[in-house]
Every structure is written in C-alpha cells, then in structure tokens.
C-alpha cells in the first residue's frame, strides 16, 4: 500500500502524521521532502523517530550556515510518502 500527503502546522519541532488507512504493522517505509526558497541558506529535514501502524512521529529540524552555524526546531511543512503492507 502507498499513502502520501502534505503536513503542516505552526508548532516547532515534533509533529505526528496520522495515516488515512492503518498499515499491517510498523515495518513500512516513511519518506519526507521539504521545499525551500532559492535564497534560503538553511537546510531543513523531517525525520521519523517513532512508527506505529496508525501514525508516525516526526522531528523537524534546520541547520543554518550563513556567518555562523545554528541548529534548531523547524515549523516547515513537508510532503510525505509511506509504503508498506496493508493486510
């Protein structure tokens, strides 16, 4: 089964994606991608850290490397796709 979507909320850091249809178990694969502006000098990422059959928890982070390097929690939205067993 393949499921996909776009996640956005204003809270920085941790987020939870709930699947429209539950997977058989937590052995599915979960991928994310984030868009940015061409003038943006930060790198954004959305990393899964807790998977269940019905949802996955995501940690959103950024690294900014302009004159100094800073790391922090992000509020950026992201596209996601999950592939796994249905029954």
**CA-wise closest residue to 36 among 46, 28, 24, 44:** 44
Per-residue model confidence (pLDDT) at position 25 = 97
Assigned token pair, 11: 């809270």
Average pLDDT over residues 29-53: 89
Per-residue model confidence (pLDDT) at position 9 = 82
**pTM reported for the whole predicted model:** 0.86
Q: Are 53 and 65 in contact (CB under 8 A)?
A: no
Per-residue model confidence (pLDDT) at position 67 = 76
- Per-residue pLDDT reduced to its tens digit, 56-83: 999 999 998 777 889 999 988 999 999 9
Assigned token pair, 69: 């390097």
Helix (H, G, I), strand (E, B) or coil at 74: coil
């Amino acid at each position: 089964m393949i499921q996909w979507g776009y996640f956005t909320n204003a809270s920085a850091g941790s987020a939870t994606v709930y699947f429209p249809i539950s997977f058989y178990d937590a052995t599915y694969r979960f991928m994310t991608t984030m868009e940015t502006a061409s003038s943006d000098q930060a790198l954004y990422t959305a990393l899964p850290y807790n998977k269940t059959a019905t949802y996955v928890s995501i940690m959103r982070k950024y690294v900014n490397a302009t004159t100094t390097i800073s790391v922090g929690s992000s509020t950026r939205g992201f596209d996601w796709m999950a592939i796994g067993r249905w029954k």
